[in-house]
Structure 1
Amino acid sequence: MIHITLGAMRYVNPKEDQLGRDHVGWDPNMDDAALFRANRGCWVLGERADREQYALLSSQGTVRQAIEIDHLVPVAGGRRAIEGRYLEAGHPVHDAYVGKPQPVEPTRNPVTYFDSPHAARTCGCGCQAPVTLGWFLPGHDQKALHDRVARIGTVHQFIQWFDHTYTDEAQTMESSILSIDPHSNTKAACSAHGTAAACTPLVADVVLRDAGSDHVEWAVCARWLRENSDATAWLNKHPDAAARLGFA
């Protein structure tokens, strides 16, 4: 889990700040939304941060906020900002940390990491074992890969199948988006990234048309909406839908 230590609130120039903020840091009068906006970036976040799904914001030795991470986005100077949402009472990570002493010793570096049982997810290979760092238990990524290769045949057969499938779909399965609405269908896994990616929460339902069907329904995460060029172009053309999704 990522732990970020905040200083006292101070004002900054929004014309110079990479996120357009006019203040950063913590103040006791801030509500959760203001605290998240002021402090979701800009931080030096190393490779380990890409494997974490939660972050804590602390000030004066107390955890002030817990955040669920959707995506880390680059900003200038090699720093990154968090895209996601702050957690509220009732979520196990919030209840375990917010309002309590910070779980790591103070250091000169505002960004630190620690292993937390509340950050556990199940191993991406499908074995259901809990992991607290990354997506797989040691060696299970290779096991998952080889199991899937074996379903096709030899490694050579798998490569042929993959190249044929990927190339053909890239060339013939072009799709067009018909609508994007807030998530309400029954799908529980991100249609773009799959179950193993554990994309949560799902934020939108996408209806599209492709060469195989005139009506395909997806459920997608915020990361896909931000990174897929067709989705961003569609939302730019439909500002009302973007506003309903909080992308205005």
Structure 2
Amino acid sequence: MIHITLGSMRYVNPEQDQLGRDHVGWDSNMDDAALFRANRGCWVLGERADREQYALLSAQGIVRQAIEIDGLLSVAGGRRVIEGRFLEAGHPVHEAYVGKPQPVAAARNPVTYFDSPHAARSCGCGCGAPVTLGWFLTGHDQKALHDRVAKIGTVHQFIEWFDRTYDEEGRTMASRVLSIAPHTNAKKACSAHGAGASCAQLVADVVLSDAGSEHVEWAVCRRWLDENSDAQAWLRQHPEEASKLGTA
């Protein structure tokens, strides 16, 4: 968990502040919203911060606010801004820390880290085990990777699928939905999840254009059709086709 020590409130120049603030720090008259706005940035946050879910703001040795982190936005000078929301009474992290002595000793650096049982998340492989640092239990990242490769097929098939699906710089999905129709083609396994996923029923044939080909034919299951945002957007634009699939 991230712990940030605040000084007393002081005024700053909003024309020079990267968030346009006119003050930073803590004052007893601040409500939660004002405290969050004034102090969510701009901090020097290392790599560990990317693995944390929560941050605490302390002043005068007492935790004044707990924040749930959605992301960290980079700004000038190698500093970052916390994007998220302050927690209210009733949340376990709020109840454990807010209004109580800060959980770490005073340090010269205002940003410190500590391990907290309240910051546990579920292992990223899907096993359900709690993880307090990072995203996976030891070795489970490899398990998660191999499980996903198996859903496509062999390693070679996975690489071919990856290269077809992503653009040359690997930044964004390059595929585009051209058509969706009820399933009639000869494919027997879900093209999205692979044979290893054993999708119960194939419901639609999808034609895609991607970085590797102008015409890629897929057969997909109901779950993919319902969860894929590009497919849903295409069906909203083509209500007649959507009605044939029972998604209208």
Within 2, Cα distance between the matches of 1:2 and 1:208? 34
Greater C-alpha Rg: 2
Q: Cα RMSD (Å) of the superposition?
A: 2.1
C-alpha change, 1:209 and 1:161, in structure 2 (3 Å) is closer
Count of matched residue pairs: 183
Q: Secondary structure at the match of 1:56?
A: strand
Question: CA 1:144/1:33 → structure 2, altered by over 3 Å: closer, same or farther?
Answer: same
1:110-149 equivalences in 2 (<5 Å):
110-149=110-149
Distance 1:147 1:40 in 2: 38
- Whether the 8 Å contact between 2:7 and 2:26 is mirrored in structure 1 is yes
**Does structure 2 conserve the Cα–Cα contact (< 8 Å) formed by 1:209 and 1:215?**
no
The 1:166/1:173 distance shift into structure 2, 3 A limit, reads farther
CA shift in 2, pair 1:21/1:212, >3 Å: closer
CA contact under 8 A between 2:177 and 2:230: conserved in structure 1? no
Is the contact between residue 177 and residue 234 of structure 2 (CA under 8 Å) also seen in structure 1? no
**SS in structure 1 opposite 2:156?**
helix
Whether the 8 Å contact between 1:173 and 1:211 is mirrored in structure 2 is no
1:213 equivalent in structure 2: 234
1:153: Cα distance to partner? Answer: 2.5
Identify the residue that residue 203 of structure 1 maps to in structure 2.
Answer: none
Change (3 A) 1:165 1:212: farther
What is the CA distance between 1:165 and its match in structure 2? Answer: 3.8
User: Could you tell me how far apart the structure 2 residues matched to 1:11 and 1:99 are?
Assistant: 25
Amino acid at match of 2:15: K
Structure 1 residues 32, 150: closer, same or farther in 2, change over 3 A? same
What corresponds to 2:34 in structure 1? Answer: 34
Alignment of 1:1-248 (within 5 A): 1-166=1-166, 170-173=174-177, 213-215=234-236
> Structure 1 residue 163: deviation in Å?
2.2
Separation in 2 of the partners of 1:157 and 1:149? 8
Alpha-carbon deviation of 1:113?
0.3
- Normalised by the size of structure 2, how large is the TM-score? 0.69
| 1:35-56 Cα distance to aligned partner (Å, 9 max, x none) | 0000000000000001101000
Query: What amino acid sits opposite 1:117 in the alignment?
Result: P
Distance in 1, matches of 2:78 and 2:51, equals 18
- When structure 1 is superposed on structure 2, of 89-98 and 147-156 the one drifting more is 147-156
Partners of 1:87 and 1:140 in 2: CA distance: 31
Runs (4+) of structure 1 moved beyond 4 Å? 207-212
Assess, with a 3 A threshold, how the Cα gap between structure 1 residues 59 and 210 changes in structure 2: closer, same or farther.
same
Task: Specify the alignment match of 1:238 in structure 2.
Answer: none
- Identical aligned residues as a percent: 80
| Structure-2 separation of matches of 1:90 and 1:212 | 38
- Unaligned ranges ≥5, structure 2: 168-172, 179-227, 238-248
Contact 2:125 2:144 in 1 (8 A): yes
Secondary structure in 1 matching 2:45 = coil
1:112 is paired with a residue whose SS is: strand
The two structures have a TM-score, normalised by structure 1, of: 0.69
- In structure 2, what is the Cα distance between the partners aligned to 1:49 and 1:96? 20
Structure 1 portions without partners, runs of 5+: 175-206, 217-248
Q: CA deviation at 1:210?
A: 5.3
Structure 1 pair 133–209 and aligned structure 2 pair: CA distance change class (3 A): closer
For 2:233 and 2:31, how far apart are their aligned partners in 1?
A: 48
Residue 25 of structure 2 contacts residue 38 of structure 2 at CA under 8 Å; is this kept in 1?
yes
Instruction: Check conservation: 2:176, 2:230, Cα contact below 8 A.
Output: no
Distance of 1:34 and 1:211 partners within structure 2: 39
The secondary structure found in structure 2 opposite 1:214 is helix
